[in-house]
């Protein structure tokens, strides 16, 4: 196997759980794991500058292929020298495959999603996204995303235009975006789908994994500078999850395997760690594992103990913009990672002269009061979201540092 652009070096293996500390080296710097990767959906971590992101200690950014494909377009980002260059972020970058959004943006937007076999085009599985309130003048219309064995046809949330993603197309777009770590194209099924659908979908995802791998290897220049992670699916079914973990970890083309793994799925919260446990029983230990779209601090801790290395989620940044911030709960003597959420818009903070969190070392807590934050949200001032985003991401960085310390000290 040729030299790959990333390396994964395990430092400590926990004796108490599957947790491990490690370092992922990328062409744009190191990521100490377990790590939380902030999401910059549209090539910006919302409301903050890259300097703020670096100053608060974040080491990498994950952006969304679906959004960047629709706007500004991969050709524009490629012309800038890639995702990191256009957004002025010199550290490591990830892109997802776009599959999750292409299939399920209706779900992600909190809209209805229904799936049925299309009679109009035999051989297609059809997902209909019941959209409402969109820009494109398609309010309350059914917007179908059609899946066939080669890919998915979907409509843009920006203008309703039709697009078709295949594994090859997803990989080509991700090559143009130029992130250090990219993902194979997959279908993320709903946990509510019947087992027959899950099986059919998983077979398709596995075929797409191979096509993704082939497409990436074919572009030798991109292959030499971008790592490709395969994605394990399988819903909440033990046999499918294990089958998928085995298939993805053993898959190779020209003797070349995936550089790491993503664990995907739309989970019911109670099923999530069970599925991760099955998967990580099979995935090899010597490659990084990314738990896609997770999550809350409490879920991340569980994911770490099940052997996951990296995580991404919009929640810390999204919450911040609506006034919800994390604060460590030092009154909980049983859980060393206990935290609470505060809503800074609450009237009780109107004259609270303390920082968001006493003793917090972030820029926001060192310089601003809860009373000021409360005022900024009530006044509709953008600075409120900026300052809370800094705090929440700093909280996540500190949380992961603590996680790594606990693993290294043999306590997690």
| C-beta separation of 266 from 191 below 8 A | yes
Judged by DSSP in three states, 72 sits in coil
Angle at 313 between CA 11 and CA 369, to 5 degrees: 100
Q: How far is the CB of 171 from its own copies (least distance, A)?
A: 23
Q: How far is the CB of 154 from its own copies (least distance, A)?
A: 18
Q: Nearest to residue 8, comparing CAs of 33, 28, 27? A: 33
Select which of 96, 176, 186, 309 is catalytic. Answer: 96
Tokens representing residue 163 in the block: 């697009």
Select which of 3, 312, 351, 408 is catalytic. Answer: 312
Q: How far is it, in rounded angstroms, from Cα 181 to Cα 315?
A: 21
Pick the closer one to its own copies by CB: 30 or 352: 352
Specify which residues 181 forms β-bridges with.
94, 227
| 335 among known catalytic residues | no
Q: How far is the CB of 49 from its own copies (least distance, A)?
A: 7
Strands 29-33 and 20-26, bridge-based pairing? antiparallel
Q: Nearest to residue 116, comparing CAs of 130, 105, 102? A: 130
Q: How far is the CB of 130 from its own copies (least distance, A)?
A: 22
Q: How far is the CB of 347 from its own copies (least distance, A)?
A: 11
Q: Quick one: which H or E segment has residue 291?
A: strand 289-291
Q: Where are the alpha helices (DSSP H) in 91-228?
A: 99-108, 167-177, 195-218, 220-225
Q: How far is it, in rounded angstroms, from Cα 65 to Cα 60?
A: 16
Pick the closer one to its own copies by CB: 79 or 268: 79
Judged by DSSP in three states, 135 sits in coil
Cis peptide leading into residue 72 (ω within 30°): yes
| C-beta separation of 367 from 360 below 8 A | no
Q: How far is it, in rounded angstroms, from Cα 359 to Cα 338?
A: 16
Number of other residues whose CB lies within 10 A of the CB of residue 354 = 11
Pick the closer one to its own copies by CB: 128 or 392: 392
Number of other residues whose CB lies within 10 A of the CB of residue 356 = 26
Pick the closer one to its own copies by CB: 120 or 353: 353
Q: How far is the CB of 241 from its own copies (least distance, A)?
A: 36
Q: How far is the CB of 350 from its own copies (least distance, A)?
A: 7
| 96 among known catalytic residues | yes
Tokens representing residue 175 in the block: 């090559």
Pick the closer one to its own copies by CB: 48 or 245: 48
Q: Nearest to residue 373, comparing CAs of 396, 391, 395? A: 391
Q: What does the binding site for its own copies look like in residue numbers (CB under 8 A)?
A: 42-44, 46-49, 67, 71-72, 76, 79-80, 86-88, 350-351, 353, 367-369, 371-372, 374-376, 378-379, 381-383, 385-386
Catalytic positions, written as ranges: 96, 312
């Amino acid at each position: 196997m040729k030299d790959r652009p990333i390396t994964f070096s395990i430092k400590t293996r926990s004796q108490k759980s599957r947790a491990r500390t490690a370092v992922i080296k990328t062409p744009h710097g190191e990521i100490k794991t377990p790590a939380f990767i902030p999401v910059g959906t549209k090539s910006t971590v919302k409301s903050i500058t890259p300097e703020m992101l670096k100053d608060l200690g974040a080491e990498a950014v994950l952006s969304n292929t679906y959004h960047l494909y629709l706007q500004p377009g991969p050709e524009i980002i490629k012309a800038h020298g890639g995702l990191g260059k256009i957004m002025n972020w010199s550290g490591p970058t990830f892109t997802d495959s776009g599959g999750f959004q292409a299939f399920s943006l209706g779900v992600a937007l909190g809209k209805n999603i229904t799936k049925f076999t299309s009679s109009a085009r035999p051989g297609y599985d059809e997902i209909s996204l019941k959209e409402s309130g969109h820009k494109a003048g398609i309010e309350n219309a059914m917007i179908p995303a059609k899946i066939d064995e080669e890919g998915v046809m979907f409509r843009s949330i920006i203008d309703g235009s039709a697009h078709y993603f295949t594994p090859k197309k997803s990989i080509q777009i991700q090559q143009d975006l130029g992130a250090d770590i990219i993902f194979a194209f997959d279908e993320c099924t709903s946990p509510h789908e019947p087992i027959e659908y899950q099986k059919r979908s998983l077979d398709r995802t596995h075929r797409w994994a191979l096509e993704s791998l082939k497409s990436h290897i074919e572009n030798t220049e991109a292959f030499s500078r971008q790592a490709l992670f395969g994605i394990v699916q399988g819903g909440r079914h033990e046999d499918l999850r294990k089958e998928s973990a085995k298939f993805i970890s053993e898959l190779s083309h020209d003797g070349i395997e995936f550089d790491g793994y993503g664990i995907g799925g739309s989970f019911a919260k109670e099923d999530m760690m069970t599925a991760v446990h099955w998967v990580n029983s099979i995935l090899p230990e010597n490659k990084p594992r990314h738990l896609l779209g997770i999550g809350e601090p409490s879920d991340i801790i569980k994911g770490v103990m099940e052997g996951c290395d990296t995580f991404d989620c919009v929640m810390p940044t999204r919450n911040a913009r609506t006034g919800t911030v994390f604060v460590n709960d030092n009154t909980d003597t049983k859980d060393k990672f206990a935290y609470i959420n505060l809503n800074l818009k609450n009237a009780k903070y109107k004259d609270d002269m303390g920082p968001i969190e006493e003793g917090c070392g972030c820029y926001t807590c060192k310089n601003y009061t809860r009373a000021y934050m409360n005022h900024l949200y009530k006044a509709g001032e953008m600075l409120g979201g900026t300052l809370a985003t800094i705090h929440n991401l700093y909280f996540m960085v500190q949380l992961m540092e603590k996680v790594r310390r606990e693993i290294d000290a043999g306590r997690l």
